[in-house]
Amino acid sequence: MNLGLQLLFALIKILIMIGFLFNVGALLTWVDRRQSAMIQDRVGPNRAFVKVPILGEVRLFGLLHTAADGLKFFFKEDFIPPNADKLLFGLAPILAMAPVLALIAVIPFGDVIDVNALMRTVCVGADNHILNVDHGKCLDAGRKVVEGVSPFLIFPAVPRFGTPSITTGPIELVVAPLNVGLLYVFALAGQGIVGAAIAGWSSDNKFSLMGALRAASQMVSYEVTMGLSLVGAMMLYGTVRLDDMVRWQGENCWGIFAQPVAFFVFFAAAVAESKRIPFDLPEAESELVSGYFTEYSGMKFGMFYFAEYMEVATSSMLLVTIFLGGWQLPWIHRDGLTIAFGTETVFHTLMPHVWVTILQVLTFFGKVLVVCSFQAFVRWTLPRFRYDQLMKIGWRVLLPLSLANIFVTGCIVLGVDKSSLGFQGGLKVAADITQAALVVGLTGLTIAGVFWMLKRHKDSTWIVGSSAERALAAGGTKESPMQA
């Protein structure tokens, strides 16, 4: 591939990732409000609308509130406190947002695409010989045009193992395929502190400073846990490249089964890193107004707000990549659908490379959305920790837990390496059983969900007071909206 094409593909990949991140960030502000409304038996925001000529007022379940918020941020006064450090005050939102954007560069959202294998024009001769194709003509071995057969398009499959060589034109579906993948993630995740700390310092406000202090100490504490919790995963996968980690999970089992403790610890640390409930001490409303960004208004506040939601999205991406199989669907491999237990192949069929790629990319983004939604559930379920509890959990529970996890993982990895082939085969069967369990579990959940959606249920009627009587006489409140 020449340089221009490479740059073009890089640009497309950046656009996909940044576009996804921004849209998920915007969507999450909606999800946060709407999901919390559904959790708390409220209707939630649904009043913002646009007038569309034929459809009238379009409200889109309150999605437009996000757009309205964005507009509002731009038109609000950009207030800078008189004694604030103007340079740092303006720099802080950028410093908060930049690492989040840069972090997604190493996150793979799909397997390597073999460009030449996406689609191919072929000719099949009379005796099922594959013929050469040239300018829409079929040529035989002597480069003479064969009459009676015409070329047609096929979507071939690719082999399951081995990546295509450089000459055949692979596209890696990751913005920057770094060899130090996970280390880059740690390096950038550490930068999140800088924005918060500078924001609090430069605001000339004691609440902001308190928030910044809390943010700094909290994030430094949980940074350690976050890094150490992934060491076990790195040892198990034998790599720090995120795409190789995903491949390992596709061939064996998802990280959540291999490293359950690390999954839990990393999840807690990631929530703490994104400074959200139950770890939102730096912006605790009841204590610190809104913490380190108390003095911010307008789009600068919007950037903090948005960076927080994008951080949720990036931490979900990391979680999906390292523990939930990344782009992998159980049983779907690079070459197609394979159901196997150990060396026993139950079912195998080839699937076109295009389909597999599209499926895998959609799987990755779908998983990210599910994890984001789960983070919102956590956010609306748990109360905020007290500050000493936060520190205790970080240093006395999660950190020893991650250290113990490293030790145990090391022992197990060493033991498995030294063990017999039969034992290793047994482990492979166990891993394949987890894949099968995932398929069965998810399918069962989906079917149960559909049945539950369609099930009829009867609500009871309570006629208390004259207004209920009038409502009943008018056919219920819902059906007779404007009664008085």
Partner 1 sequence: MTAFPKKAALPTNAVVVGEGERSVVTQSYLPEVGRGLAVTMQHFFHNTREMLRGERPDPVTERLDPGISTISYPEQKRPYPERFRGVHRLTLREDASPRCVACLCCSTACPAQCIFIEPGEYPEGDKRRGYERFPVKFVIDELRCIFCGYCVEACPCDAIRMDTGAHATPYDSRDQFIYGKDLLTSFPGRDGSHKSENPRHEPGEPTHPGVTREHQSH
Give the interface with partner 1 as residue ranges (CB under 8 A): 35, 38-43, 377-378, 380-382, 452-453, 459-463, 465-468, 470-472, 474, 476-478, 480-484
Q: How far is the CB of 55 from partner 1 (least distance, A)?
A: 17
Q: How far is the CB of 477 from partner 1 (least distance, A)?
A: 5
* Cα(270)–Cα(95) distance, integer angstroms: 19
With respect to partner 1, which residue has the nearer C-beta, 65 or 334?
65
With respect to partner 1, which residue has the nearer C-beta, 82 or 481?
481
CA distances from 333 to 109, 133, 425 (A): 15, 30, 20
CA Rg, the chain, in Å? 27
Q: How far is the CB of 217 from partner 1 (least distance, A)?
A: 21
Q: Which uninterrupted H or E stretch holds 181?
A: helix 181-189
232-236, long-range: CB < 8 A, 24+ apart: 232/259, 232/261, 232/262, 232/402, 232/405, 232/406, 232/408, 232/409, 233/258, 233/259, 233/262, 233/322, 233/323, 234/182, 235/406, 235/409, 235/410, 235/413, 236/409, 236/413
* Cα(4)–Cα(11) distance, integer angstroms: 11
Q: How far is the CB of 476 from partner 1 (least distance, A)?
A: 5
With respect to partner 1, which residue has the nearer C-beta, 57 or 78?
57
Residues of 38-51 as b/e, b for ≥16 C-beta within 10 angstroms? eeeeeebbbebeee
Please count the helices (runs of H) and the strands (runs of E) in the chain: 16, 11
Q: How far is the CB of 97 from partner 1 (least distance, A)?
A: 30
SS3 category, 220: helix
Q: Which residues pair with 155 in a beta bridge?
A: none
* Cα(399)–Cα(269) distance, integer angstroms: 10
Q: How far is the CB of 38 from partner 1 (least distance, A)?
A: 4
Q: How far is the CB of 166 from partner 1 (least distance, A)?
A: 48
With respect to partner 1, which residue has the nearer C-beta, 112 or 256?
256
With respect to partner 1, which residue has the nearer C-beta, 3 or 453?
453
Identity of residue 375: Q
With respect to partner 1, which residue has the nearer C-beta, 7 or 43?
43
Structure-block tokens of residue 325: 């199989």
CB atoms < 10 A from the CB of 253, how many?
A: 22
Q: How far is the CB of 455 from partner 1 (least distance, A)?
A: 9
With respect to partner 1, which residue has the nearer C-beta, 75 or 452?
452
Q: Which residues pair with 122 in a beta bridge?
A: 152
With respect to partner 1, which residue has the nearer C-beta, 75 or 462?
462
